Structure 1
Amino acid sequence: MVSRRGKPLSPDVKKLTVSVKQYFDRVKIEPKEPSVKRTADALGLGIATVKRIMASYNRDPKLLEEEGRMRGRPVHAVDVSHQEAVRTYVRNANNNGEYITLADIMNFLKEEYADESFHKATLARALNRWGFEFGKGTRTQHLKEKDHVVAARQRYLREKRSNRDNGNETATRRPEIYLDESYVNKNHSNDFIWYYGEDGPWVQKPTGNGERFIVLNAITQSGWIPGSKLVFKSTKKTGDYHGQMNWDLFKKWFAEMLLPNIPKNSLIIMDNASYHNILSEHSPPTSQSSKKKIKDWLEQNKIYCRDDCLKAELVEVLKKIAPEPIYAIDEIAANHGHKVLRTPPYHPELQPIETCWGVVKNHVARNCDFTMKNLAVQLDAGFDKVTEKTCKAIISRVRKTEDEFWTSCLRMEAQ
C-alpha cells in the first residue's frame, strides 16, 4: 500500500500510478482484468483514484507535479487539549486590560501550534463550549469567561481550600479521591517513528481507531485506589465513550468497587458527566424535568398554578424558589460517610487523573501492535507507570493551578 485513506497523494505516488497503469496496458495477463483494477490492487488505491490520476495525466502530465489536496470537508475541530492554553491567554489579557478578539486568539494558536490549522467559525464555537463569551467590558468589548463558569470554579476552589491542612503543605482534612472514566483504542499508537529515508516507513498503521476498552478508576496521593479499576470492551467503535456509560453501570462500580476501598470520610471529586448527575428521588425538579413533575412539585409546596400555564412559566417560578438539586450519587456517598465535589465545567486542568490517563495512553501508544490482546497487556503495564510519586507530583501541580486561579480571580475582581 502506497497511501493512507484520506491523505493527499504525493507527486511521486501519482507518477508511480501512471507507470504501473501503462505497464499493465502493455502486458496482457490472464485471466483478463482491466488494467485500472490491477493497478489499484497493486498499489492499494481505489479504482476511482487511479482513474482520476490518469485523467489528470492525459489532460496535462505536468499536473502530476502538483501536491495533492485533501478531499472532502477539512478537519477544523479545535482539540480540547488547547483549552488550558487558551484560558490562560485570555485571562492574562483580561488581567492586563488588553483588548482581545477572536483574531488575537487565532494568531496565538497559530504561533503556539504551527503544525495545526484553525478555522475561525469553529474556534468561536469551541470558545463558547469552553465557557467564554464576547461581551462588554469596563472600557470596551472583550472576550471573557461566562459568569456561571467563574462562579462554579470559585465555589469549587473554596471547598478545596477549606479542605487543606494549613499546617502541612500536602495534607488534607478529608482524603481526596479523584475519579474519572476514559477509553483507549486498539490502534492507539505513535504517528511518528524513526526510519531510513530511502526506504520510507515500513510500519503500516491500520485505518480507523479499531475496537476499544473503556476504563474507570480513581486516584489519591498514594496512587490508584486498590480494587477500583474496571476495564471492559466497548460494543461501539465510534462516538464518544460516554455513550457506553450509563447510570446503572456507574452506580454499580461506585458502590461495589470504589466505596469499599477508600478511606473513611473522603472527599470524592468527579466531573459533570450526565450519569454523575442523575437526580435523586428526593430532589426538586429542574428545568429539564417534565412539565407534570414541575407542576406537581410546585403544588406540593403550596404554589398553585393555572392549568393553562406553559412549562416556561413554571420553570420561571421554579428557579426562584427551588433549592439546589440532590443527586443520587451524592446520597449514596453520604450514606457511607463521604462527600461528593464536582469540578467546574471546562476545567480538565483541575482534575489530576486526566494527566494519569495521559501517562497510561502514552505507554500504550509506544507498545502498540494493533491487537486487543496486546492492548489489555499494555494497559495494565501503563497503569503500573502511575506510581505514588507520580500522583503526588501531579496533585501538587494541580494545587498550584488552583492557587493561581484563586489569586487571579480576586485580583481581577478588585480592579
Structure 2
Amino acid sequence: MATRDDMEQSKDEGTSNTRHIHAAGSRLTSQCRNIIMNVFQYFNSQGPSKTMKEIIKATATATQVSERTIYRIKSEKMKSSDGIIHSPLPRKRKSTVVDNLDSFDRDCVRRDILSFYDRGDRPTLANLLAKVREPPTNFTGSRSSLYKIVRNLGFRYKKVTSGRKILMERQDIIITRNKYLRELKRNRESPKPRPEVFVDETWVNQNLTVEKCWTNEDGSVGPTTKLGRGSRFIIVHAGSDEGFVPGALLMFKSKNGSKGDYHDSMDNERFKMWLEEQLLPNIKKESLIIIDNAPYHSKIINKVPTSSNRKAQIIDWLVLNNIDHDPSFTKLELLQLCQRHKEIQKYEIDEIAAHYGHKVLRLPPYHCIFNPIELIWAQVKTEIKKRNSNSDQSLKIVEKITKEAVEASRNPYALRAVLRIGIVAEQL
C-alpha cells in the first residue's frame, strides 16, 4: 500500500511534469482549451464564496497556464455560438521585405534613385526611403531592407570629386544600358526594322488569391482559402505589340514547390526546347528576340579560358577562334590575350536563333522595366487572384484559371505596355 509520503511525492512529480506541457508562446489546441474550461467550471461550481479572480487563479494553478490565458479562453467560449472552443489558426510567418519585392518593384526603386539626379538632388537612404514609400512603389520595409535592395541593384555609396558620398550606379551597368538603347534605336530607325519579340518568365502560386475582401468582424463570412502558398507553376511566354505569341505559352509545375523563384526551376535545356519548338516556329521572320541575362539564357559555347585551364587548353582556344598568338608566351600572357578577345564569345541561344534568321538582344542587368511583359504579368496575376478566391484551389483549377487569364490579356493592353516602355527608353 502506498504511504502518504509516496502519494505526495507522486503528486509533486506529476505537477512538475505538467508545468512543461504548455510552453510560453505555443498554441493551445481546442481539446486543451475545453479541458481548461472544464476545470474552471468545476472550481466555479464549488460555491459562491470565491470571487472570480480567485477562481481564475485556482484554474491557472491547476492547469499551469497563465491567468491571462484563462480570461481569453473564457471570453472565447462566451462568444462561441455552439459553445465549442476551436483551435486558433496558425500564424503566417511573414517573409522579409527584400523577398517580397518582385523584379518590377525593384526597378521602381531604381527609377526613384535616378529621379533624384534628374532633379539635381542627391539621394540618401533617408530621402530615398521617404520616396519609395509613396505610390507606385509603396515600399513597406525598413531602412536596412532598402539598403540591401539598393546594393543588389548595383548601386554603391561612394565618394565623388567633391569628397561627399552619394549613391552611384555601377559604370558597367550604365555602359550596358546605353549599348542596349542604341541597338534598339538603330533597329527601329532602320529601313527594314526587325519585329520586336519580348521573352519573360514568372510564377504563380497555387493559393494565390485576393488579400482583402468584405467580411464581418470575426471573419466567419468570406472566401475559404487554403493556408500557405501551395505548389508553384512556372510560366514562360513571349509577346509583342500584337499581344502574346500564339502557341508560345509554356506552363509547368515547379519541382521546388513554393521555394525560390522561376530561376530555381528553369534550366538551359528546358528553355532551349521551348525556344526551338514553341517560339521560333510562331514568330515573324527575322525577328529581334529580347531576353534578360538569366543563366539559362546565357550558356556560352566558346567560353574564354580561365586560370583553371592548362596552357595547352588556352592555346587550343586561341587557335579555334583564329587569334594570333605566340606559343612561347607564359600562361598569364596568354590569358590576358584571351580577355582582350572576350567579345567573340557566342551564346548557344543566339546561335540557334541566328540559324533561323533571327537576332537576340539582351536587356541590361536590373532593367526589367524595359520588358513590357512585366506590366502584363501584373494584369494576369490580378485576374488570377479574382478568380481563385474559393476553396476549390486544386492544381487543375489553378492551371485552367492561369491559362485563361493569360489568353484574356488583350492586344490593346499589350500595345500600351510596349509604348510605355518606349517612352521610358526615350527618357533615358
Same fold (TM over 0.5): yes
Aligned twin of 2:236: 216
- Tell me the SS of whatever aligns to 1:269: strand
Q: Give the secondary structure class of the aligned counterpart of 1:86.
A: helix
The answer to whether the aligner puts 1:162 opposite 2:183 as a matched pair is no
Aligned partner of 1:339 among 325, 344, 359: 359
Tell me, yes or no, if the aligned pair for 1:295 and 1:305 is still in contact at 8 Å. Answer: no
Give the direction of change, closer, same or farther, for the CA distance of 1:372–1:73 in structure 2 (3 Å limit): closer
Do the aligned partners of residues 257 and 120 (structure 1) sit closer, same or farther apart at CA in structure 2, a change above 3 Å counting?
same
2:15 maps to: none
The residue correspondences of 1:378-389 to structure 2 (distance < 5 A) are: 378-389=401-412
Is the CA contact (8 Å cut-off) linking 2:248 and 2:278 kept in structure 1?
A: yes
What does 1:9-408 align with in structure 2 at a 5 Å threshold?
Answer: 20=34, 22-26=36-40, 54-55=65-66, 57=68, 75-77=96-98, 79-80=101-102, 81-112=104-135, 117-139=140-162, 140-165=164-189, 173-197=193-217, 200-237=220-257, 238-280=259-301, 283-285=302-304, 290-292=308-310, 294=314, 296-298=316-318, 301=323, 302=325, 304=327, 316-368=336-388, 369=390, 370-405=393-428
Partner SS, residue 215 of structure 1: strand
Q: How many angstroms apart in 2 are the aligned matches of 1:392 and 1:193?
A: 32
Of all paired residues, the percent bearing the same amino acid is 29
Compared with structure 1, are the counterparts of its residues 320 and 199 closer, same or farther at alpha carbon in structure 2 (3 Å cutoff)? closer
Note closer, same or farther for the CA distance 1:232–1:59 as it changes in structure 2 (3 Å cut): closer
In structure 2, distance between residues paired with 1:86 and 1:239? 21
Q: Which has the larger radius of gyration?
A: 2
SS in 1 for 2:343: coil
Instruction: State the partner residue of 2:49.
Output: none
Distance 1:215 1:316, change over 3 A: same
Distance in 1 separating the partners of 2:328 and 2:374 = 46
353-362 or 316-325: bigger deviation: 316-325
> How far apart are 1:103 and its partner, in Å?
2.1
Q: Distance in 1 between matches of 2:205 and 2:385?
A: 10
2:213 and 2:222 in contact (8 A); partners too? no
Conserved 8 A contact 1:221-1:388: yes
Q: Which amino acid aligns with 1:25?
A: V
Rate the CA distance shift 1:323–1:143 in 2: closer, same or farther, 3 A.
same
CA RMSD of aligned residues (A): 3.5
Structure 1 residue identity aligned to 2:304: P
Change in 2 beyond 3 A, CA 1:314/1:107: farther
Tell me the SS of whatever aligns to 2:66: helix
1:315-370 Cα shifts (integer Å, max 9, x gaps): 55532343342101101111111000011111111101111222221111111142
Shift in CA distance, 315/130, structure 1 to aligned 2, threshold 3 Å: farther
Aligned to 1:380, the other structure's residue is in SS state: helix
CA displacement at 1:378 relative to structure 2: 0.7
TM-score of the two chains, using structure 2 as the length reference? 0.72
Distance 2:93 2:217 in 1: 30
2:188 counterpart SS class: coil
Partner of 2:3: none
Q: Equivalents in 2 of 1:71, 1:336: separation in Å?
A: 50
Q: Secondary structure at the match of 1:239?
A: coil
Q: Which amino acid aligns with 1:184?
A: V
For 2:94 and 2:284, the matched residues in 1 are separated by: 51
Q: Is the contact made by 1:90 and 1:144 (CA closer than 8 Å) also made in structure 2?
A: no
- The aligned residue for residue 32 of structure 1 is none
What is the SS of the residue equivalent to 2:98?
A: coil
Instruction: Measure, in 2, the Cα distance between the counterparts of 1:235 and 1:352.
Output: 28
2:78 corresponds to: none
Counterpart of 1:326 in 2: which secondary structure? Answer: coil
The answer to whether the 8 A contact 2:203-2:261 is kept is no
Letter in 2 for 1:285: V
**Cα separation, partners in 2 of 1:113 and 1:204, compared to 1, 3 Å:** farther
Are the structure 2 counterparts of residues 96 and 357 from structure 1 closer, same or farther at C-alpha, using a change threshold of 3 Å?
Answer: closer
- The CA distance in 1 between the partners of 2:178 and 2:189, in whole Å, is 19
**Deviation sequence 1:108-129 (CA, Å, 0-9, x none):** 2345589854233332221121
Deviates more, 1:341-350 or 1:232-241: 232-241
Q: Aligned partners of 1:58 and 1:200: how far apart in 2?
A: 23
Structure 1 CA distance for aligned equivalents of residues 93 and 351 of structure 2: 49
Corresponding residue for residue 36 of structure 1: none
- Cα deviation, residue 147, structure 1: 0.9
Going from structure 1 to structure 2, the CA distance change for 1:336 and 1:299 (only over 3 Å counts) comes to closer
Judge conservation of contact 1:359–1:385 (CA < 8 Å) in 2: no
Query: Closer, same or farther in 2 for the Cα pair 1:58/1:27, shift >3 Å?
Result: closer
- Are the counterparts in 1 of residues 112 and 132 from structure 2 also a CA contact under 8 Å? no
SS at match of 2:361: strand
Deviates more, 1:338-347 or 1:107-116: 107-116
Matched AA of 2:171: D
